[in-house]
Amino acid sequence: MRIALIGQAAFAEKVLHELHARGEEVVHVYAPPDSGGRPDPLKTKALELGLPLSEPASFKGEEIYRQFQALHADLAILAFVTLIVPERVLYTPRLKSICFHPSLLPRHRGASAINWAIIQGDSETGITWFWPDQGIDTGPILIQKRVPIGENDTVGSLYFNRLFPLGVESLFEALDLIRSAKAPAIAQDESLATYEPPCRDEHAAIDFNQHARQVHNLIRGCDPQPGAFAVYEGKRVRLYDAVLEPGLSSGAVGEIVSIGGDGMRIGLEGATLLVRRVRVEPSAKKMAPADLAQAGELRVGMLADS
């Protein structure tokens, strides 16, 4: 098949690597435009392989549409795409387009699916390859794979250890189904659909009066980004790499009860939270709590502002 690849970041780079390694015909690669820092990994890989490359800021114009038509592609693969791709572009290839999403659609539509699955306490999630349409993650489902969410999984561990490799692996199962004309297109059950906004600072403030499990889920679901935070003596403190220790805490809810070589402990309702990495703004560096205590940024007995 003649494949047009649209994507970005490490996931799309790995998809392109595997497509090329398996002898697939990639006729064009679409990567994000440079933003002043390092070029996107997908762009770097496309240049390394000598493939035709475009870096559109939008897919809504006539020029990009005509270019896409001229490819005579059989299929477009959307591998981690944040730009809106209009329906007329999606439907241009002979077999239309397929898109990756890191959740079990129709649950957790939107840009922060992994964050919200953890924040909301889901016990499992997965990946979906689907046939995109004009809606946000609303098209018919081609293939899904499920994975459990561990009690200490973060967005980073869940994505990179399980969803990322599973997404790449399942793509080739999806391509085999398409080639054999056996690819399903299962309508999503709208009665089960959920949509959440991008997970940002407005969602990341910790309320230590919530149940310990909810606090832990929020921290895990904001790790590594945007970083769940509490305010201690006027300083915004972001918490990472946290685990729950069951049993009554020796301190008040939200109080730093100890700082040691294994991390910092904070009192919760019915449990203690062990936090192993901390960032105190405005610093961008995550550090061991003991190092921050030595620098005078943290101390035992500090109580989170209400």
Does the residue 305 lie in any domain?
no
CATH of the domain at 251: 3.10.25.10
How much is the average pLDDT of 154-164? Answer: 98
pLDDT one-digit tens code per residue, 168-212:
999 999 999 999 999 999 999 999 999 999 999 999 999 999 999
The answer to whether the CB of 223 falls within 8 A of the CB of 154 is yes
Q: 74 and 39, same structural domain? A: yes
Pairing state of beta strands 25-30 and 97-101?
unpaired
Q: 241 and 92, same structural domain? A: no
Range of the domain at 97: 2-192
Q: 120 and 182, same structural domain? A: yes
How many structural domains does the chain have? Answer: 2
pLDDT for 286: 98
| Model confidence pTM above 0.75 | yes
pLDDT one-digit tens code per residue, 238-268:
999 999 998 888 889 999 999 999 999 999 9
Q: 177 and 263, same structural domain? A: no
pLDDT for 223: 98
pLDDT for 33: 95
Q: 83 and 183, same structural domain? A: yes
Q: 217 and 169, same structural domain? A: no
pLDDT one-digit tens code per residue, 66-88:
999 999 999 999 999 999 999 99
pLDDT for 192: 98
Listed residues 165, 192, 219: the one ending a domain: 192
pLDDT for 248: 81
CATH of the domain at 130: 3.40.50.170
Task: Give the mean pLDDT of the chain.
Answer: 97
Q: 124 and 16, same structural domain? A: yes
Q: 116 and 232, same structural domain? A: no
Between CA 197 and CA 183 the distance in angstroms is: 30
pLDDT for 35: 83
Is the pLDDT at 306 greater than 80? The verdict is: no
Listed residues 129, 160, 192: the one ending a domain: 192
Listed residues 154, 172, 192: the one ending a domain: 192
Q: 287 and 247, same structural domain? A: yes
pLDDT one-digit tens code per residue, 14-53:
999 999 999 999 999 999 999 878 899 999 999 999 999 9
Q: 221 and 106, same structural domain? A: no
pLDDT one-digit tens code per residue, 122-156:
999 999 999 999 999 999 999 999 999 999 999 99
